[in-house]
Structure 1
Amino acid sequence: MPEHGRLGIRQLTILTIMIVMGDMMMIYPSVIASFSGQNAWLNAFIGIPLGMGLMYLYVKLADTYPGENLFGIFKKILGFWPGTLLSLIYLMYFIFGSSTQARVVGDFMTSEIFMFTPIRVVLLIFYIVIGWGIYNGLETIGRSSEILLPIVTVFMFVLVICLLPQTDLDQLRPFTDTNMQQISKGLMVSFIYPVGEAIPILMLLPYSSQQAHRTRDLVIGAGFGNFLMAVLVTISLLVMGLFLTQHSIFGSFVLAQKINIANFFQRIEVLMASSWLISTYFKSTIYLYAFIVGTAELFGFKASRFLVLPSVLSAFALSNIVSPTLSFIVTLAIPYWLEWDITLCLIFPVMLLIIHQIKSKMKLKKGMA
C-alpha cells in the first residue's frame, strides 16, 4: 500500500458528506432546476434514497476484494490489462474532477468577491492548501474535516432558517409541469451528481478502520449530504422561483444576499460562501488524492508522497485551461459531465459487480465439479 495513514469510520463518513456536498452547494440548485424544471425539489428528495442505494452499491463493490482500492478491484475482476486501461480512464476522471472544481472556485471568487484579482492567483492559493493537506497525509485530511464539518452544516441551517420569512409556497406550483424526459433526467441528476461523484471514496476504504457498521455509516452520510442539497434546492425555489433558480449559477450565494432580518442581520453571503469553499476544498482534495494514490497503485510505487508536487502542479495547470470562461462550464461542460458521471459512477460499477458475480458462480460450479 502506498498510503499508511488510517481513517476512523467517523472521519470517512464526514469526508463522504463533504464530497457529496462539495461544489454542489453552490451550483446544484441551478443544475437540477435546468434539468427538472418545476419539479426540481421533488426530484431532489426522491434522489435521497437513490443516492443511498448508490453508495451501498459502492461499498458492496469494495467488499468484493477487501483491502483493495478501486484500481486493485479493477485488476482483480477484469484482469491486468483491461483493469489497467479502466484505471487510466478513472485517473483522467479524478484529475479533471479536481481541476474543474478548483476552476469553479476560481471563477466564483473572481466574479463575486475578488473581481480585480487574477484567477491564477486564486487557483494557486487553492492548490497550495490542497497540496499541503495531501502531503501531510490522509489522517490530517480526515481530522480537518471533523473540525470543519460543523461550520458547513451550521451555515447551511442558518441560511435556510433566515430565509423562511421570504418563502412563498406558490413558487412550487404547478407540481406536474414537466414531461417524462425532464423527470428522468432530473432523477439522474438528483443522485448521480451529488453521490455518484463520491466514487473516489473507494480509494480511501482500504486505509480506513474495518468496523461492522461502516456500510451503514457511509450510506447514512451520503443520504445526509444529499438531504442538505434537497433542502437547498427547495428553499431556492421557494424564495427565488424557477426562473431565477435556473439562471443563477451560484444560487446559494444569491440566496445569502437576500438575508435581511430587521435591517441588522444581513450581508453575510461571504460567510455562506466560506462553507461552500470548505466543502469544495475537501472534494477537490480527495479527487487529487485519489489521482496520486491511483498513480502509485498503477505503476507499483511503494510510496506516493513524491508524486504530490508534480500532481498539484499538473492539476493547477489543468485548472487554468480546462475552461476558458464560466459560461463554458455551464453551457457545455455540465450537460456532458452528467453522461460522464453516469458512465463512470453508475454503469461501470454495476457492470463490475455483475462480472464478479458471474465469475464467482463459475468458480463455484468448477469447485463442485
Structure 2
Amino acid sequence: MDNQTISPRQFMFLVILFTIGSSIIIVPGPLAAQAKQDAWLSITISLLIGLTLILFYNHMAKLMEGKTFVQATIMVFGNWFGRFILFFYLSFLFILAALVLRNIGDFMTTEIIPETPLQFTHILFLIVVIWGAYLGLEVMGRSAEMFMPWVFLLLLFFTITLAPQINVENLQPFLGEGFMPVLSTSTFVIGTPLLEMVTFLMIFPYVKDAKTKRKAWVLGVFIGGMILTLITLLCLLVLGSDLTALNTFPSYKLAQKINIAGFLEGLEIVIGIIWMLTIFFKMVVLYYAVSVGVAQFLTMDDHRPLLLPLGMGMIVLSIIAYPDVAYFETFVGDTWFPYAFTHGFILPAFVWIGLIIKSKRDKKQKDLSSHS
C-alpha cells in the first residue's frame, strides 16, 4: 500500500468537496418538495446532527490508533467475523460510488450533452477518477488545494450575480407547514452526504498531525454544510419552493437565471464545471477508499491492480442500479437513509464498542504486566 500522507488542510478541502459533491445538485429539490420554503432549515438541523456524527467518527479514529477502518475491524473481530462485517461496509462504499457516477451521467445527459449515451459519459468520467486514485492520496490532496479557491470564487460570483433576483417573500411564511416536515426531511441530508462521511475512516490514518486533523474534519463538514445551505437558500429565494421542487437539478436551473445587464447570459456551464469538480472529488475519494479497503481486505500490498476491475463493475452497476431519474428520487427519498444509517452509524458503532472493549482489555493487561 502506498504510504502517502496529506496535511490537515488538504484533508479539510477534500471533506468540503466531498460534502458538496453530488448533494449540490440533488439536495435542494426533494427538500423543497416536502419542507417547502423551510428547506434551508432542514439542512441547518441536519448539519448540527452531522457535526455530532463527525465527533463520533473522530473518537473512533482515535481508538483505531493509526489504522484504517478495514484494518481496525480485522484487528478487533479477527479474520473471519471481521471480514464478514467489512463485506457490508465495502459494499456500501462501492454502491455509493456507483450511484454518484450515475448522478454525473444523469446530469450530463439531461442538461449538457443529451445526445451522448449514458455509458460513454460514465466511462470517460471514470477513466479520470481511476487515474486520480492511481496517482494516490498526495496528488488528490494537492489537487483539492489547487481547485478549492476556484470553487469558492465561482460560488461567490454565483451569489453576487443572483442577488438582484432575490425575493425574500419566497421564504414566507416561516414554518408555514409546521415543524414536522422540516424535521422529517432533515434525514435526507443526514443520509446524503453526512452518513457517507464514514468513507473518511479509510483516509483519516494517512493525515498528518493527530490533533489538527480532527478539527479539520469538523470544520470541513461545517463549511461544506454551509455551502449546501447557501445554495438551497438561493434556490428558494430566486426560484421559489414550487419551482425548486419541480426541477430535477434546481441549482443548475438557478444558474440559467444569471443575467448581467442583459448581455452576459448562458453562464450555467461554468456552474456545471464547478459541480463536475466537486462530484469528481467525491468520486475519487470513494474510489480510493474502496480500492484501498478491498486491497486490505484481501491482504494485498498494493491497491492499484484493483482499480480497473472495480471500475468495470462500477460502470455496470451504475447503469442497472436504477432505470430513470424518477426511480432515483423515490429511492433516495425512501430507501437511502435507512441504508446509509445502517452502514454509516450502526456498523461503525458496533466496531467502536469492540474498539473500546479491546482498549480497556489492553490497558488492563498492561497494568498487570507493569505490576508483576
TM-score, structure 1 length as denominator? 0.93
Shift of 1:210: 2.9
d(CA) in 2 for partners of 1:304, 1:336: 31
2:17 maps to which residue? 18
The one-letter code matched in structure 1 to 2:98 is S
Single out whichever of 72-81 and 294-303 deviates more from structure 2.
72-81
Secondary structure of 1:319's aligned partner: helix
> In 2, are the aligned partners of 1:97 and 1:284 still within 8 Å (CA)?
no
2:297 maps to which residue? 298
The 1:5–1:325 alpha-carbon spacing in structure 2 relative to 1, beyond 3 Å, is same
1:4 maps to which residue? 3
2:57 equivalent to 1:58: yes
2:155 equivalent to 1:156: yes
Shift of 1:5: 1.6
The one-letter code matched in structure 2 to 1:91 is L
Q: Deviations over 1:244-303 (max 9, x none)?
A: 112211111000001112102221000001111111011111111111111111111111
1:29 maps to which residue? 28
Secondary structure of 2:193's aligned partner: coil
Give every structure 1 segment of 4 or more consecutive aligned residues whose post-TM-superposition deviation is greater than 4 Å. Answer: 358-369
d(CA) in 1 for partners of 2:60, 2:152: 29
Single out whichever of 71-80 and 241-250 deviates more from structure 2.
71-80
1:267 maps to which residue? 266
Percent of matched pairs sharing the same residue: 30
> In 1, are the aligned partners of 2:42 and 2:186 still within 8 Å (CA)?
yes
> In 2, are the aligned partners of 1:65 and 1:73 still within 8 Å (CA)?
yes
1:197-236 equivalent positions in 2, closer than 5 A: 197-236=196-235
The 1:39–1:312 alpha-carbon spacing in structure 2 relative to 1, beyond 3 Å, is same
Q: Which runs of 5+ in 2 are unaligned?
A: none
d(CA) in 1 for partners of 2:363, 2:126: 49
TM-score, structure 2 length as denominator? 0.92
Q: Which runs of 5+ in 1 are unaligned?
A: none
Q: Deviations over 1:324-368 (max 9, x none)?
A: 222221123443112211221123333433443355456667877
> In 2, are the aligned partners of 1:55 and 1:219 still within 8 Å (CA)?
yes
> In 1, are the aligned partners of 2:21 and 2:275 still within 8 Å (CA)?
yes
d(CA) in 1 for partners of 2:4, 2:22: 26
2:136 equivalent to 1:137: yes
Query: How many positions carry a matched residue from both structures?
Result: 368
Single out whichever of 240-249 and 174-183 deviates more from structure 2.
174-183
1:347 maps to which residue? 346
> In 2, are the aligned partners of 1:35 and 1:182 still within 8 Å (CA)?
yes
> In 1, are the aligned partners of 2:188 and 2:333 still within 8 Å (CA)?
no
> In 2, are the aligned partners of 1:26 and 1:252 still within 8 Å (CA)?
yes
Shift of 1:89: 0.7
1:356 maps to which residue? 355
2:255 maps to which residue? 256
1:92 maps to which residue? 91
> In 1, are the aligned partners of 2:18 and 2:281 still within 8 Å (CA)?
yes
The 1:226–1:71 alpha-carbon spacing in structure 2 relative to 1, beyond 3 Å, is same
2:310 maps to which residue? 311
